[in-house]
Amino acid sequence: MPETRGSGSTELTTGGQAETATYLRDMLRLACNPRLLIAFSAGFLRFFLDYGFLTYFPLFLVRTHGISTATAGFLYAFFSVGAMITSSQAGRLAAGYDKAKLLFAAFVVSGLALVAVPFLPGALLIGLSLFFYGLANGVISPMQKSLLTQNAPPELRGGIVSFDRLIQQVSKTLSTSVVGLMLVVLNLPTIFWLLGLLSLISVCLMAALLPRRSASVK
Rounded to 5°, angle at Cα 126 from 183 and 54: 45
Residue 78 pLDDT greater than 90, yes or no: yes
Rounded to a whole number of angstroms, the CA Rg of the chain reads 19
Quickly name the fold that domain 18-210 has: Growth Hormone; Chain: A; (1.20.1250)
Q: Which pLDDT band, with edges at 50, 70 and 90, does 196 fall under?
A: very high
Determine the pLDDT at residue 18.
Answer: 66
pLDDT digits (tens, 9 = 90+) for 82-94: 999 999 998 888 8
Quote the pLDDT of residue 108: 94
Percent of the chain, pLDDT > 90? 31
Q: Nearest to residue 141, comparing CAs of 91, 87, 183?
A: 87
Whole-structure pTM value: 0.81
**What's the pLDDT at 94?**
83
Confidence of residue 16 (pLDDT cuts 50, 70, 90): low
Q: What secondary structure, in 3-state letters, does 49-115 show?
A: HHHHHHHHHHHHHHHHHCCCHHHHHHHHHHHHHHHHHHHCCHHHHHHHCCHHHHHHHHHHHHHHHHH
**Tell me: the pLDDT tens digits for 25-55?**
888 888 788 888 888 889 999 999 999 888 8
